[in-house]
Amino acid sequence: MPLNESFIGRVYPPTPVYEVGREKIREFADAIADDSPVYRDPAAAAELGYPDVIAPPTFAIVLTLDASRQVTGDPELGIDYSRVVHGEQRFVHERPIRAGDRLRVVVSVESIRKAGGNDLIGTSGEVRTEDGELVLTAHSLLVVRGPGSSE
Amino acid sequence: MITLSDVRVGTVLPSLQVPIGRANLVRYAGASGDFNPIHWNQRFATSVGLPDVIAHGMFTMAQVGRLLTSWVGDPGAVLEYGVRFTRPVVVPDPDGATLIVTGKVDSISEHGLVAVELTATVDGQTVLARAKAVVRVPAS
């Protein structure tokens, strides 16, 4: 059954505040094997003009993947999550995420279309500080594999 | 740190060769919160039609990001970064996979915004398409 296109434009409630910690940034940087001191040492970050350590450019996925479960788990939309694969990802940064940021994500459904037997859902996640400053927007394309699709 | 005088259209970024083993994926699962078992459980991965455990697309994207940030010096200079995931990176145990990441400057705006085209391949096969970034490179 094709996904309901009336969900295009739907905006989900802001996620609870996520407080970015230095150790979480370090853990993420370790996991991607990036040894830059800017992710670990506040003094190194300060040399580049940042008030605290900053996060790698893809760190926001920690917040936005979780937030996008509002869409993929929406019972009204009825997606079989076991058939969801990541099609595309794009980040547009206003500034890097940094330790101490208190962030919320507002997820919306940008597009729903069908291609080659699969459903494609485009979502955007606006990541803002709790004071409303836009930090970045994450655009994801999720592919819901249709029956009979092998990949 | 590079400056605009180091950058021309066609400038090639230092490439990166990234060995990927199961331990990398387990660690990335923990750090990112993406515990989908296709990234660590062979039995599950094959049961959903995959050849074996596959890497998180976002892990691959992060490795390409590492090429960018190590080149530009300031990770906060990566303003836009996007990829399309075209082929899963299969990570057999114990041999793993080797990801090769390259990048080339595509254009430079008058405001010092540098557009970079990126590639990621495993065994000569492309795993990402439309991998592009815009980075801010200081004039001096």
Q: Give A93-115 pLDDT, tens digit per residue.
A: 999 999 999 999 999 999 999 99
Residue whose C-alpha is closest to residue B73's, from A136, A28, A44, A30: A44
Chain A nearest-CA distance from B6, in A, is 19
**Which CATH number applies to A7-20+55-144?**
3.10.129.10
Alpha helices in A1-151 (DSSP H): 22-31, 42-47, 61-72
Whether the pLDDT of residue A36 is over 60: the answer is yes
Distance (Å, whole) CA B116 – CA B45:
34
Tally of CA atoms within 13 A in the half-sphere of B103 that contains its CB: 31
Pick from A31, A32, A90: CB nearest B82: A90
Q: pLDDT value at position B84? A: 98
Q: Which of residues 12-71 of B touch A (CB under 8 A)?
A: 18, 24, 27-28, 30-34, 48-49, 57-59, 61-63, 65-66, 68-70
Q: What stretches in chain B show pLDDT beneath 50?
A: none
Chain B contact probe: residue of A50, A61, A142, A151 with most B CBs at under 10 A: A61
Eight-class DSSP state of B90: B
Whether the pLDDT of residue A151 is over 50: the answer is no
Residue A84: what are its φ and ψ, rounded to 5°? -90, 130
Whether the pLDDT of residue A134 is over 90: the answer is yes
Residue whose C-alpha is closest to residue B69's, from A36, A151, A77: A36
Q: pLDDT value at position A146? A: 82
- Any B CB within 8 A of A1 CB: no
Q: pLDDT value at position A131? A: 97
The chain B residue lying nearest A46, using CA atoms, is B74
Distance (Å, whole) CA A60 – CA A139:
11
Distance (Å, whole) CA A27 – CA A30:
5
Q: Give A16-34 pLDDT, tens digit per residue.
A: 999 999 999 999 999 999 9
Distance (Å, whole) CA B137 – CA B135:
6
Distance (Å, whole) CA A53 – CA A45:
5
Q: What single letter denotes the amino acid at residue A119? A: D
Q: pLDDT value at position B110? A: 87
What is the interface size between A and B, counted as CB pairs within 8 Å?
Answer: 106
Q: pLDDT value at position A1? A: 59
Domain ranges of chain A: 7-20+55-144
Contact (CB, 8 A) for A65 and B33: yes
Preceding peptide of B94 cis, ω within 30°: yes
Element (H, E) at A124: strand A118-129
Q: pLDDT value at position A5? A: 85
Token duo for residue A72: 């993929």
Whether the pLDDT of residue A150 is over 60: the answer is no
Domain ranges of chain B: 4-20+55-136
Pick from B27, B31, B75: CB nearest A96: B75
The chain A residue lying nearest B80, using CA atoms, is A92
Q: Give A45-96 pLDDT, tens digit per residue.
A: 999 999 999 999 999 999 999 999 999 999 999 888 878 889 999 999 999 9
Query: What CATH topology corresponds to B4-20+55-136?
Result: Thiol Ester Dehydrase; Chain A (3.10.129)
Threshold 0.80, pTM exceeds = yes
Chain A nearest-CA distance from B62, in A, is 6
Contact (CB, 8 A) for A139 and A122: yes
